[in-house]
Structure 1
Amino acid sequence: MGWHDVALYGGMALGMAFGMTVAAVPMVRRWAFRLKMVAAPREDRWHAHPTPLLGGLAIGMALWGAFLTLWALGGLEDQWRKIGGLTILSSVLGLVGLVDDRKHLAPQTKLLVQIVLASFVVFLGFEVQWFVSKTANRFWSILWVVAITNAFNLLDNMDGLSAGVAAIACAFLILVEAVCGHPFQPIHLAVMALLGALAGFLVYNFHPASIFMGDCGSLPIGFFLAAASTQTNMAQNGPLVPILAVPVFIFCLPLFDMAFVSVMRPLFGRSISTGGRDHTSHRLVAIGLSERNTVLFLYGFSTLGGILALFMALQPVGTLPGIVVFLLLTLFLAVHLARVRTYGPGQKSIVERNGTLTVLWIQWTYKKRMFEVLLDVFMVAFAYWLSYFLRYEKPMYESVFPHFLKSLPLTVACCLGANLVVGIYRGVWRLTSTSDLVYHLGAASLGVALTVLSLVFLYDFQGFSRSIFGIFWALWLVALSGSRVSFCFMSELLKKVSRRNGRRVAIYGADERGSMILYRVLNGSEHVLCPVGFIDNDEKKQNARIYGYKVIGPWHRLEELIRTHRLDEILVPVEEAARLPFPAPEALDRQVVFRQVDLRIG
């Protein structure tokens, strides 16, 4: 059977699973109410209304229906026993999840069951072939299945999130194989059936959800996907880096969320298995995104990971720049999310509770800027390697690569030394401005110059190309400035998002005083004010933008501006208040507060 047959069998499996799930969910929902399998609102859970569980049963029923149909039609060929075994083991794990939904099993019990079932699934032949050692392959396969199973279980914390991300993963598991021209395998039909079941479930599970999948859904879904990912041609053959990176990027969001929670919870003295509103999704809502937009944002994150996995499978080396950018953005996102307080004002981290650790933390993260330096080491090395990769074709690249390795430590030392001399590590990333770009230019230029002079002194510049260092200078400057500016940009973006639901305010005066008021609003501790723009009587400033905020109109159109932009407050410098005609409250369509702001010192 080839990929042309997938359109028939795969489309049938997907459509059948979708239809069966859509039809089964209302029935399962009634069962949940009768059996009192309902998730009640709790302080450590996200939903606000009692919501039935057992959605995983509908997904499982659809998957079994598609499997039996494909088996009867011969679509699974000689792999039906293997795929049937995986379906049975997934169903057993679903039953364990059902018991957990009912009686709340101990975490160690669930983990033990997962390890046992993962061992059985590896025995069936669902294992990677990454290492020479068969023992290592089997051990890693068990670890991989257990990890992905728990990652999807932890991700099931907001309407439509786990099901949607699982559907995206299904799509990219199939897409990578098809685009790369790998031979068709019957497991692909099973993945397409799961995709259809998940799509049908999202009809009821997307915000606002009328049913949850519960552990009887999230556990077997992660289990099934993890096992299926070991059967792709990419997981069985090819260079080590792509076969490791492709599945990791396809499952990037579940793995990121699991790793993030596993670090943050112990840091605040909480068990990893303890539920709470501290996941990636919850923190995004805490900074101002709506629940629906949060889920859509995370869908986009997962899709971007899948696209990178696709390009990594097609062109591993050419995808490296995109992967580096993606990893840097993920790092910045993690840093920002970690700053969101989700455990209550009275709960402190281990570092904050322990005086000695606090001193060490300040010493290494603030005074010595350890993380910033490590990031620069990585960026210098990558920019220097990319210079060689862009400059030379493959045969020549291999001949000059020893020169790259020989000069890399010297290049890193010179660039970091230049950063130290120029004062790069004295700046604060989130306060980076255009004036800092001059220092970045100086640091990059000095670093490259020191590198060239050192190579001239040590090796008489034999075997090195001047054009390499021209390319490296440009790449290092972009990386140095881009990392700082992107962090600043993300800080500003999150500030805007966090205030989106606050009181809408306009500021009078598109000048220095108005800018000072805007700065106070944006850097206030309470996210209660959402700047809309400036009001100014200067006709030349109309529709201009000041720090990204538009001049929305003059003061004499105030009543119209209040109505059009739904303003709740107007902030006026105290020096201007006496010269402005304030309208009577009864003349306005809505209640508006006029507040005078004193900018004088002393």
Structure 2
Amino acid sequence: PLAGTAVAAALVVPYGETGAVAGVLAAGWIVAVTAAFRGMDHADGLAGAVGTVTAFGVAACAAAELMDGIAVPLSVLAAALAGFLLHNWHPARAALGAGGSLFTGFVIASAAVFVRAGQGTGAGAGVLFALTAVVCADAVLVVLARRLARWPLTRGRPDHLGHRLRRLGLAPRAVAVLPGVAALGGVLVGVAVHTGRMSGGAVWWVAAAAAVLVLALVRLPVTPVFRARQRSSSVSPQVTEQLRVRNG
């Protein structure tokens, strides 16, 4: 999946507006966000809630640039994800799976690159991060936690954001709602910076909040007992034999 995503990302980046170096970096960012969205689909409603908010945010940025060709499809994607939440909300009856989550992440990330192309590398990177702050935080949390635990990055483990929030005692629906609200905060900052209503320095507040979240949760232990309980739980269809979603 990563190799195919990398090829697709390399073909969709507008190098004429970004330049060669920034274009390569943009392609790498698309791959990273796409993979991170796949990892987000590990709890009922989580990927759908975050994806809905993020897609609407990118659509708003595109609409501000009069890019109807991007704004309309992103709005449709956001509406589709919101409608899918009716089936993916706890207790879920269906899951996005790898196909749905990879598609969502790729479309959102590539559309965001198109919207910000040619508007400055530094400022563009800040807006892109703010729009996907929760997704990026989950990816960094997983990578950092597995490195500290000497766990292979490619081997699944219940150490994503949703898993850790559940260990703190949050209800399954709260695991989707709270990251969705956090994603909304980052998206509002990203849209405001993109449209010039806020200075680029506001992105640092989003980065600081994401860093605090990662540092607060990275040391939360992932015990064998919890892992066994996660595998044997029948609360969510996302972890049943009929409809299994990998831990990441």
| TM surpasses 0.5 | yes
The amino acid across from 2:186 in the alignment is G
2:245 aligns with none
- For the 8 Å contact 1:242–1:316, the answer to whether it is kept is no
Select the residue among 199, 216, 219 that pairs with 1:339. Answer: 219
1:302 aligns with 183
1:188 aligns with 71
> Following the alignment from structure 2 to structure 1, what is the Cα–Cα distance between the partners of residues 223 and 197?
41
> Following the alignment from structure 1 to structure 2, what is the Cα–Cα distance between the partners of residues 177 and 222?
17
2:52 aligns with 167
**Does 1:120 find its partner at 2:11?**
yes
2:17 aligns with 129
> Following the alignment from structure 2 to structure 1, what is the Cα–Cα distance between the partners of residues 22 and 16?
6
2:144 aligns with 263
**Does 1:292 find its partner at 2:173?**
yes
How do 1:1-40 residues align onto structure 2 when only pairs under 5 Å count?
none
2:86 aligns with 203
1:148 aligns with 33
Higher RCO (CA < 8 A, seq sep 6+): 2
The amino acid across from 1:288 in the alignment is G
Deviations 1:252-302 (A, max 9, x none): 111111111011112212121222211111111111211111211100110
Deviations 1:86-106 (A, max 9, x none): xxxxxxxxxxxxxxxxxxxxx
Indicate the structure with greater strand content: 1
2:209 aligns with 329
Tell me the SS of whatever aligns to 1:120.
helix
- For the 8 Å contact 2:130–2:186, the answer to whether it is kept is yes
Superposition deviation, residue 128 in structure 1: 7.8
TM (norm. structure 1) is 0.35
- For the 8 Å contact 1:128–1:230, the answer to whether it is kept is no
Equivalent pairs counted in the alignment come to 225
- Unaligned 5+ segments in structure 2 are 226-248
Tell me the SS of whatever aligns to 1:141.
helix
> Following the alignment from structure 2 to structure 1, what is the Cα–Cα distance between the partners of residues 77 and 198?
32
2:119 aligns with 238
- For the 8 Å contact 1:281–1:294, the answer to whether it is kept is yes
> Following the alignment from structure 2 to structure 1, what is the Cα–Cα distance between the partners of residues 32 and 194?
22
Tell me the SS of whatever aligns to 2:170.
coil
Deviations 1:48-72 (A, max 9, x none): xxxxxxxxxxxxxxxxxxxxxxxxx
Tell me the SS of whatever aligns to 2:68.
coil
- For the 8 Å contact 2:123–2:200, the answer to whether it is kept is no
- For the 8 Å contact 1:128–1:137, the answer to whether it is kept is no
The amino acid across from 1:194 in the alignment is L
> Following the alignment from structure 1 to structure 2, what is the Cα–Cα distance between the partners of residues 182 and 190?
15
The amino acid across from 1:253 in the alignment is V
> Following the alignment from structure 1 to structure 2, what is the Cα–Cα distance between the partners of residues 230 and 254?
16
Residues 344 and 160 (structure 1), Cα distance of their counterparts in 2 relative to 1, 3 Å cut: same
> Following the alignment from structure 1 to structure 2, what is the Cα–Cα distance between the partners of residues 128 and 253?
30
- Unaligned 5+ segments in structure 1 are 1-109, 346-602
Residues 204 and 142 (structure 1), Cα distance of their counterparts in 2 relative to 1, 3 Å cut: same
The amino acid across from 2:213 in the alignment is L
> Following the alignment from structure 1 to structure 2, what is the Cα–Cα distance between the partners of residues 140 and 324?
20
> Following the alignment from structure 2 to structure 1, what is the Cα–Cα distance between the partners of residues 5 and 61?
28
**Does 1:219 find its partner at 2:102?**
yes
1:273 aligns with 154
TM (norm. structure 2) is 0.82
> Following the alignment from structure 2 to structure 1, what is the Cα–Cα distance between the partners of residues 89 and 16?
34
> Following the alignment from structure 1 to structure 2, what is the Cα–Cα distance between the partners of residues 288 and 299?
18
> Following the alignment from structure 2 to structure 1, what is the Cα–Cα distance between the partners of residues 90 and 16?
36
How do 1:410-425 residues align onto structure 2 when only pairs under 5 Å count?
none
> Following the alignment from structure 2 to structure 1, what is the Cα–Cα distance between the partners of residues 203 and 16?
23
Structure showing greater radius of gyration is 1
Identity %: 24
Select the residue among 228, 233, 240 that pairs with 2:111. Answer: 228
Superposition deviation, residue 319 in structure 1: 5.5
* Off by >6 Å, runs of 4+ in structure 1: none
The amino acid across from 1:276 in the alignment is R
The amino acid across from 2:17 in the alignment is Q
